[in-house]
Chain A
Amino acid sequence: DTGVSQDPRHKITKRGQNVTFRCDPISEHNRLYWYRQTLGQGPEFLTYFQNEAQLEKSRLLSDRFSAERPKGSFSTLEIQRTEQGDSAMYLCASSPGQEQYFGPGTRLTVT
């Protein structure tokens, strides 16, 4: 297994458009996390799945954001009606328990 992968690595979109990101975790990791990171800041927790169940969402995850993890495997994060403030790196991590393994991230630029 080569680790957590994310697609796309970069996305440029116009304000108001919808975007969707994909995360493929390390197989057999039942926990999956999404984070957002802006320049010069540490990652901020967005949401967390255990298998297919979304167990917690941060207050940062507005109603324009939705995440899914069908069948407890890959996950998608969708942002509707993007705003310039959504420009950030979106990181995915998977975990078998204590430690997390992060993907390379998807850098979103909203113009």
Chain B
Amino acid sequence: DAKTTQPPSMDCAEGRAANLPCNHSTISGNEYVYWYRQIHSQGPQYIIHGLKNNETNEMASLIITEDRKSSTLILPHATLRDTAVYYCIVSTGFTNAGKSTFGDGTTLTVKP
């Protein structure tokens, strides 16, 4: 599976949009981009995934560049409860989903 690069930490003001970037320049055509987050002392929580089209659900939006070499997770109105470590993973999905190493992720701190 392709490797991902994320900034180690980011801050965001409460109520503002949080934009978390992820680089995956070696992604192959059949690899999906997944985002998970982990709030302190809890198991990771699935957020969203996509292949090449932008995706939106009740939690977030995923913007994937046209060349698929990078993506951005957008939390439209960050709250204090969104403070967590956010992991970007690429994987070939259905058959191999879950086998990727999560990496170190981005620690997002939402400040009042």
Contact = CB atoms under 8 A, between A and B. Distances in A.
Given A41-B104, A42-B87, A42-B104, A102 B98 contact: no
Contacts, number: 59
B49 A104 contact: no
Interface in A88-111: 91, 93, 95, 97-105
Interface residues of A, number: 23
Nearest to B91: A98
A109 to B, nearest CB: 14
B94 A104 contact: no
Interface of A: 4, 31, 33, 40-45, 48, 56, 91, 93, 95, 97-105
Contact of A97 (B34, B94, B100): B94
Contact of B98 (A31, A42, A105): A31
Chain A CB within 10 Å, residue with most, of B32, B42, B44, B94: B44
Given A42-B87, A42-B105, A98-B94, A48 B43 contact: no
B99 to A, nearest CB: 5
A13 B26 CA distance: 42
Contacts of A31: 97-98
Contacts of B104: 40-42
B103 interface: yes
Contacts of B43: 4, 91, 93, 102-105
B25 to A, nearest CB: 19
